[in-house]
Amino acid sequence: MSLSTLFKAGIVASALALAGCADTAMKSSPDIVDIAASNDAFHTLVAAASAAGLVDTLKSDGPFTVFAPTDDAFAKLPAGTVESLLLPENKAKLAAILTYHVIPGKVMAADLAGQRLSVATVNGKNVHVNGTHGVRVNKARVIQADVEASNGVIHVIDSVLLP
């Protein structure tokens, strides 16, 4: 094999390697739904978002701030509540509850520190945020803040917010 052929093969191999790196670099970080779906604490939330027809919205560009109740938070609701909300005939009610957990824009915990605010949700109703001692949303406590996603941020809460 000639030196010229080896040189050309090296250039082709380098170009392919760079193309592979570029493909990896261009993949975006996980979105809000991807993060929730990959976490064992959010099975109920992901099932509810799917039943309410909100997955595509929560995978869109956003940005969104989601106060995400854990499975334990959903378990605090009266017996049969979650099962009832997941029925097709309750899709609108479920969507209203879930969109009450979403604020347009990306709001980090530091943005809330030391403040008491009334904030409009995607649902149209306001939640009351108290950032004076940790962060509370209505009566729910933020138990993990600032889980960043490609399209916003998740704050994990210990109770389901009801409009």
Bridge partner residues of 129 (DSSP): 117, 137
CA–CA distance from 109 to each of 69, 82, 128, 155 (Å)? 16, 28, 14, 8
99's CB contacts (< 8 A; 6+ apart) are 54, 121, 122, 123
- Third-level CATH fold of 31-157: FAS1 domain (2.30.180)
- 103-126 mean pLDDT: 96
What is the reported pLDDT for 122? 96
34-82, pLDDT tens digit by residue? 999 999 999 999 999 999 999 999 999 999 999 999 999 999 999 999 9
What is the reported pLDDT for 9? 36
Q: What is d(CA 6, CA 84) in angstroms, rounded to the nearest whole number?
A: 68
More confident residue, 19 or 101: 101
- 81-102 mean pLDDT: 96
> Does residue 145 register a pLDDT over 60?
yes
Map tokens 């956003």 to a residue. Answer: 62
> Does residue 97 register a pLDDT over 80?
yes
